C-alpha cells in the first residue's frame, strides 16, 4: 500500500479480521463501524469533514507564522558579518597545505 499524495483524502478500507471499515489518518487507524453499514458511512463522512477542516486530534497543527527579528536600537553597532565563503575556502586551503605538505618539501 503506497502513501497518499498531499491533500488526497484518506480512503475507507475493509479490515478483514474484524469486519469493520477503517481509515488511516496521519498514521493512526480509526475504526468506523461494521463494513458497508450506514453507521460506517456516516462516521466516514464526518471524519472527512473534520479532516478537511483539520480539527481532528490526529491532524497536524498549522505551521506558526514567520516571525521577524527584533529591531536593533539605532546607536547599537551592527554585529560582525562573519566569514565569507571565499575567506573560509582560503583558510581551509591553507590548513590543508600545512597538514598535507611533506616536511622535506618545505
Predicted confidence (pLDDT) per residue in 13-24, tens digit: 999 899 999 998
Q: Is residue 85 part of a domain?
A: no
pLDDT digits (tens, 9 = 90+) for 53-95: 755 544 455 555 666 666 666 676 666 678 888 888 999 999 8
pLDDT of residue 34: 92
The answer to whether 87 and 95 are in contact (CB under 8 A) is no
Asked whether residue 49 is assigned to any structural domain, the reply reads yes
Domain-located, residue 81? no
Q: 43 lies in a domain?
A: yes
pTM: 0.46
Nearest Cα to 60, choosing from 29, 28, 86?
28
In a domain, 73, yes or no: no
Q: What's the pLDDT at 79?
A: 63
Domain around 38: 13-53
Tell me, yes or no, whether 20 lies in a domain.
yes
Per residue in 13-40, is it b (16+ CB within 10 Å) or e — as a string? eeeeeeebbbbebeeeebebbebeeeeb
Q: How many domains does the chain have?
A: 1
pLDDT of res. 8: 78
How far is the C-alpha of 32 from the C-alpha of 85, rounded, in Å?
A: 57
Q: Which pLDDT value is given to residue 97?
A: 87
Q: With contact defined as beta carbons under 8 Å apart, do 11 and 40 qualify?
A: no
**Which residue, chain included where needed, has cell 498514521?**
27
Amino acid at each position: 500500500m503506497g502513501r497518499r499524495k498531499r491533500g488526497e483524502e484518506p480512503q475507507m478500507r475493509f479490515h478483514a479480521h474484524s469486519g469493520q471499515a477503517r481509515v488511516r489518518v496521519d498514521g493512526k487507524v480509526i475504526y468506523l463501524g461494521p463494513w458497508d453499514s450506514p453507521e460506517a458511512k456516516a462516521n466516514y463522512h464526518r471524519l472527512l469533514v473534520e479532516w478537511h477542516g483539520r480539527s481532528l486530534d490526529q491532524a497536524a497543527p498549522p505551521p506558526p507564522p514567520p516571525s521577524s527579528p527584533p529591531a536593533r536600537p539605532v546607536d547599537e553597532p551592527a554585529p560582525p558579518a562573519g566569514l565569507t565563503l571565499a575567506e573560509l575556502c582560503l583558510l581551509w586551503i591553507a590548513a590543508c597545505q600545512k597538514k598535507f605538505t611533506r616536511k622535506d618539501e618545505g
